[in-house]
Every structure is written in C-alpha cells, then in structure tokens.
Structure 1
Amino acid sequence: MKNYIAILTISLGILLSLSACQKVEDQTYTIPTTYNFENVDYSGQTTRIKMLEALSIYAKSANTLGSNQLSSTAMINMYNNANTVFSDPALNNSSKQLKNKVHLSIQNKFENYMVAQANASLSTNQTAAANQAGIATSNDGTQSFLLNNNGVELAQIIEKGLATACFYYQSTAVYLGETKMSVDNKAVTDGKGTNMEHHWDEAFGYFGAPIDFPSNTSNVELWAKYSNKVNSILGCNSKIMNAFLKGRAAISAEDYNARDEARTTIKQEWEVILAAVAISYLNDAKKNATDFALYAHYLTEAYAFIAGLKYGASKTIPDADVDNILSNLAGSSDPLQANIYATSLQDIDNTINALANSFTSLETVKASL
C-alpha cells in the first residue's frame, strides 16, 4: 500500500508539473500591431545601419565623370570605425563598428573590395569598357555608375554585401540563433528588457523597419526597403513584421513554442525576400539589356544578393551551389574576378531558374518580380 501511495503521489506531481507547463504555453496575451514594447533598445543596430549608409554614400560618390578619387583608407576606416572618419560625431564616438559583426569567412575580403573600388576611381575620367574601369552612363544620361574593368559596380558589392554578410547574418543566424535565444528571460534591465527580449529587439533592429511597418513604408532602410520592393507580389512585409511582433510578445509571456514558430518564420521569409530581390534585379537587367550602364548596375546588385544567401540561418542553397550559380552568371564567385561583359541573357534566365527551383514559392511569380 505504501508503494502504491508513493507511486500515486509521484504521478500526481508529474501531472501537476505538466499542467503548469501547459498553462504557460496556453496563456493568452496581447500581440501589438506595432513594435511598441516596453524596454526596447536596438540603438547599436541603428548605428551600424547609419555607418553602412555613410560608407555607401562615399563609395558611390565616384559615380560621375570627373569625380574625385576615392580613398581606400577612408572606406576601411568607416568599416572599422577608426580615426574619426565619419561626418557624424555620434558615429565616431560610438563603440560600434561594422567589421566585427561580419561573417568571419568574408570579413577581411570587404577591405579588398574597398581597395579595388578606390583603384577603379582612378579612372573616373574614362568611359567604362571591357578591360577598362570607368564611368558607365545610362542611355538617357540620367544615371551613371563607376564600374571596374570587368563591368562590376563594386559600390554595390560593398553595400549589398554588408547588408547580407553583416545585418542578415547577425539577425537570423546570431541573434535569433540558439545561443542568443537561450539566455535569461527573468531579470529586466530598464530600457533593455530581459536578455532574451533585448536579443530579439536587436534582431529586429537589423531589419531596418519603423515600428509601424508595414503600414508605414516611408524612410524604410535596407532590408525593410528590399522587402517592400517585392511585397506587392509576395506579401512579405506583413509576414515578417507579424512574426517579429508575435515572437517579441511570446518572449515576454514566456511562450517559447510561439517564439520558436516566429523565429522560424523570420528566417525563412527573410531568405525568400533575399532570393526574390535577386530575381527582381535580374529581371531589371533583362529589361535594360540594351543599356549597359543599367544592365551592369542591376546585374551587380543581383550578384551581391545571391552571394548573400551564404550568410543566413536557413541556407536553403548550399554554399558550393551558390558559388556555382554566381560562376554561371558572371564567370566567378569572386566579385573581383566576375565579368559582367560576358553575362548573356541566357545566363540570366538560367540563374533565375536556378533560384526559383530552390525557392519553389517563387516559381510561379519569377517573371513578375
């Protein structure tokens, strides 16, 4: 009898324990319609976005005939936040930088791209041509771009490359990864929330959206802007924003199943956005096949986004396959060796098909992106 009572007591204890756990998961809580939670701080992410914007503006300042030569030292200093290089004192005084948040496999290569961009800017008095760096001007004369001797717009490799290898990587693979999501969620720091809440907020910060996105799409930055580019076809703005809102509310409610569903959605949707934007730029290149300045501009953007598929959490396409896609598109997976002059319309179609074959949700809309 004593043994029976002991077993019954243990069984009741287990049932009560399971019931308590289930109660936490099934509790109801409010999911707001804007990212207006208590104790939110992603100022570090906002600072890095501003640093990239400043770096991109400078890298593109050599996009017109006769423009001044760029300094690779200045670009590398912006990348490292060194030597008071920014015009904004707040950026110079910040402890943040871009380089130390970039995926290690490509961290140092960006400095090579900056050196190459500065070298290309020695030829801003030249017209871009095969084997000749210089300025390519659109047929209507309204747009111009600095291209290297292979027709690659290195300013786009730098900008889109950092948007993927830094911001996309940090948000999906680091801040929404297991390590950052396996931290304390009890102790609240004023202005930052719990450690888990703060990590989630930092992931959101890298997306570059206002707190009332997507009803507000003015002044969107980087990834929110890229998402908005393909939103009319994919409806991705609401999907990813709702997941950010749901996950943050779930963390505060200690509903970790809902949190995990939300972060899975974010990782998957963000990767689809990346692939869709790449296809969109490939389509833009096709539409401007007789205008080499625009053709090279859009192809370089597409190339950079495709390369960025290596750095997210989902990694639908293995790295080796990404390299193959890039090589088939432009002759090399190294942007310093890629040759846009050799890229044909068939190469573009093959690339679109390769991406749509991997991201099957894009197959039926690939021509419309």
Structure 2
Amino acid sequence: MKRVLFSVLAVSAIIFSSCSSDDEVVKPEVVAPATYSFEGADNKSNVSFSGQVIRLKMAAELKSALGENTKTEDQLMDMFSKGTGFDNTSLDGKKILRETVASAPFAYTNVTSVEADALRLKMDGWIKDHATTVYGNWSTDASEGTAGKLTTGTRTVYVGANGFEYNQAVAKTLIGAVITDQIVNKYVSQGFIDDNKADHEAGKPYNGDATKNYTGLQHGWDEAYGYIFGLETNPATPVNSINKEDRKGFLNSYLKSVDNDTKFKGIFNDIYNAFKLGRAAVDAKDYELAGKQAKIIRESISKVIGVMAVHYLLKGKGAKDANTLHALSEAYGFVLSLRYVEINGNQVQANQIATSISALEANNGLWSVTDTQLDQIAGALAGYFGFSVEDALSLKD
C-alpha cells in the first residue's frame, strides 16, 4: 500500500512540476487590436501624441510660408526658432521646430551635438537666403548663379542662386532630422525600450504625473505613431491612399507613395501593424515582441526615406528647369535625411552620405550637378537598401 501511495504521489508531483514549468515559460499570446486604440486601467484611452500633431502643423505652415512672399525674415525665423508667428495662433508657443532638429538623445544616436548645431545653422541660412535673395528677386528670371522665378509648363518655383527651392529643402530635411530621427533614434530605438522598462514595470505614470494614465514607454510608442499618422482624419485608422485629401502629414505622404508602387507594396501595412502589435506588446510587458516590432518600424521607415531620395535624384536629371530643380531640392532634403535612418541595423554614418551632399552643394549647387553624378549617387543608395533604381523611379509622387 505504501508503495502504491508513493507511486501515486510521485506521479502527481511529476505532473504538477511539469505544469508549473510550462506555466513559467509559456507567455500569453499578444494580439494586436483592429485599430490603434488602447485604454489604461481607468478604461479611458491612454494614447497621446498631441505634441507630434503640433509639430507637424508647424512644419506644414513653415513650408507654405517659404513658398510665398508674404513674411519677413524675422517672421520666418520666429516660426522656426521660437515657435511663434503662425497664422494658426493656437500653435504659438507650444513647440520649437529648431530645437527638435537632430535632437534624439546621444545615448541612442551617433549624431554629435556639433553636427546637430551645424544642421540647424544650415537651415537658418536657407530661411534667411529665401527671405532676402529669393524675395528680392521674386520677379527675376532665375538662372545659374541668379535667384528668382522659374516656370516650366504648369510649375513655377522660386529658387536661390544655388537652385535650391527652400520650402522643399526645409520640409524634406524636417522629415529626416525631426520625424525620422525622433521615431527611429528615440521612441522605437532599443535603447529607449530598455531604459523605460523599469518604470513601465512599476506602472509609473509619464513624468511622474499622476494625472496621466500612461507610462513613459507607452507614451513614447504613441509619439512615434503620431509623427506618421497624427494628422489623419481618424489617426486610429489611417487611410492608405495617394489621393490628395488622404496624404496627411510629411512622412505619411511618402509612405503612401512608396506603398502605391507594386515593388514596395505592403510597407504601409508593415508599419501600421507593427505599431499596433508593438503597443499591445508594451502593454503586455512583452519587451522581446515589442523590440521585434520596433525593428520592423525602423527598417521600413528607413527604406521609405531611401526610396524617395533615389526617386527624386533621378527625377532631377536633364536640363535644369522648374521641374528638375524642384525634384533635386526634394532629393537634397531626403539625402540629408538619410543620416537618421538605419541600414542593416546600423545608423547611417555622416561619412557615408558626405560625398553625395557635397555633389549637390558644390559650385552653383543644383544648377551644377550632372546627370552622371545623379546616377552614381542614386545607384549607390539603391544598392545600400537593396532595391533597384528603376523601382524607385517608377513611383507616382
């Protein structure tokens, strides 16, 4: 009897032990919601990215102002460097675009403070040149070395003596140095996830503010999301369309353009689904899964920037006119934006794009760059990212 009893107990212990072991290693499945909608313990939405919406609106108004001759140099500089003077007065004093340029923490990026300051000064220079040289030659026919107006077909551009259409250069640089940098090198970087895990585990509200129903890790993930989808009519359900009314925001617009090409189809859903599943993983404290989704987001956004840089470089070939200088001004901003992306898991280094930038800036700038140079730059960039120049050129922008 004792032997039987012992045998029964032994078997029970083995079964119990096995079940306990399984319970310890098997995690509950994390399922992404149908839309980007999440709630806190109070059963209220805990998704917040109002700051990103403000910056996107500021950037859009600055871009528009730089395409017109309606503001003074001081007014334009106030918009960029002080966060004031917007026609939409509700934006005044909320954020400062210049401070956000190349501002990802040094712990997560290899961009130095010297490099960040240099880019901000460069952008200051563009704004000042537009407000003085371009405004001063608003009715002058532009030519190599002479700022002014250039019309080709239905397109009219106002360019500096170097051929730069400054509203395009500024806007595309902001896509990289603000939007991409903040997403890739801050909010969905592995360093940010690791550094915010402890507070998230403890349930500490963002910035220690008890009125917030989200943690720093949740909020960071949402801020990254807001930089892409924050201007959608319904941000929780972004519309993947290249119709003008559906192209909301800066990076958002080009994500949709890239996805519209059959060679890159699926990249929109890759990013959207990774954001949803990653946020669900954060909520479930499954940091490994969140890290995998963050990697998808970083790689996909980086490819969008690479595709658009190559696309506009190739669109800039041929005689220098309103169309090609417009394309090259966009290309220039996207090439600068490459500094903030990842290729094969590593952030692009300054020296990897320095030659390309120099080629676009040398002599009389965009007037001087040759088709041979553009082919060389585009081919090298496409090779880095693993797509063909033909694929990038076929996009509808």
Fold match (TM-score > 0.5): yes
Q: If the length of structure 1 is used for normalisation, what is the TM-score?
A: 0.84
- The alignment-based identity, stated in percent, is 25
In structure 1, how many angstroms separate the alpha carbons of the residues matched to 2:140 and 2:297?
Answer: 44
- Structure 1 residue identity aligned to 2:73: S
* Gaps in structure 2 of 5+ consecutive residues: 1-17, 40-45, 103-112
- The answer to whether structure 1 residue 292 and structure 2 residue 321 are counterparts is yes
Q: CA deviation at 1:251?
A: 0.3
In structure 1, how many angstroms separate the alpha carbons of the residues matched to 2:355 and 2:361?
Answer: 9
Q: Is the 8 A contact 1:152 1:338 kept in 2?
A: no
Summarize the Cα distance change of 1:368–1:21 in structure 2 as closer, same or farther, 3 Å threshold.
farther
Matched ranges for 1:48-197 at <5 A: 48-62=55-69, 68=70, 70-82=71-83, 84-94=84-94, 96-103=95-102, 104=113, 105=116, 106-119=119-132, 120-138=134-152, 140=153, 142-181=154-193, 182-183=195-196, 184-185=199-200, 186-187=203-204, 192-197=213-218
Greater mean alpha carbon deviation, residues 110-119 or residues 188-197: 188-197
Structure number with bigger Rg = 2
Q: If the length of structure 2 is used for normalisation, what is the TM-score?
A: 0.78
- What secondary structure is seen at the aligned counterpart in 1 of 2:150? strand
- What secondary structure is seen at the aligned counterpart in 2 of 1:207? helix
Greater mean alpha carbon deviation, residues 124-133 or residues 346-355: 346-355
Summarize the Cα distance change of 1:89–1:292 in structure 2 as closer, same or farther, 3 Å threshold.
same
In structure 2, how many angstroms separate the alpha carbons of the residues matched to 1:309 and 1:223?
Answer: 13
Q: CA deviation at 1:52?
A: 0.6
Q: Is the 8 A contact 2:340 2:347 kept in 1?
A: no
Counterpart of 1:7 in structure 2 is: none
In structure 2, how many angstroms separate the alpha carbons of the residues matched to 1:341 and 1:216?
Answer: 34
Deviations 1:77-122 (CA, angstroms, capped at 9, x unpaired): 111335x41122211142x221221114123332122112112221
In structure 1, how many angstroms separate the alpha carbons of the residues matched to 2:284 and 2:358?
Answer: 47
Counterpart of 1:43 in structure 2 is: 50
Q: CA deviation at 1:57?
A: 0.7
* Gaps in structure 1 of 5+ consecutive residues: 1-14, 63-67
Give the one of 376, 384, 393 matched to 1:350.
Answer: 376
Deviations 1:259-307 (CA, angstroms, capped at 9, x unpaired): 0001111111111100101122223223xx3461111010110111011
Counterpart of 1:248 in structure 2 is: 279
In structure 1, how many angstroms separate the alpha carbons of the residues matched to 2:75 and 2:340?
Answer: 26
Summarize the Cα distance change of 1:16–1:194 in structure 2 as closer, same or farther, 3 Å threshold.
farther
Q: CA deviation at 1:16?
A: 10
- Structure 2 residue identity aligned to 1:91: L
Q: How many residues were matched structurally?
A: 337
Q: Is the 8 A contact 1:150 1:339 kept in 2?
A: yes
Q: CA deviation at 1:21?
A: 5.7
In structure 1, how many angstroms separate the alpha carbons of the residues matched to 2:130 and 2:213?
Answer: 39
Summarize the Cα distance change of 1:290–1:216 in structure 2 as closer, same or farther, 3 Å threshold.
closer
Q: Is the 8 A contact 1:227 1:273 kept in 2?
A: yes
Deviations 1:215-253 (CA, angstroms, capped at 9, x unpaired): 466142111101111112312111111111111111011
Aligned CA RMSD, in angstroms, stands at: 2.5
Q: CA deviation at 1:72?
A: 2.0
Greater mean alpha carbon deviation, residues 163-172 or residues 217-226: 217-226
In structure 1, how many angstroms separate the alpha carbons of the residues matched to 2:20 and 2:389?
Answer: 47
Q: CA deviation at 1:321?
A: 2.0
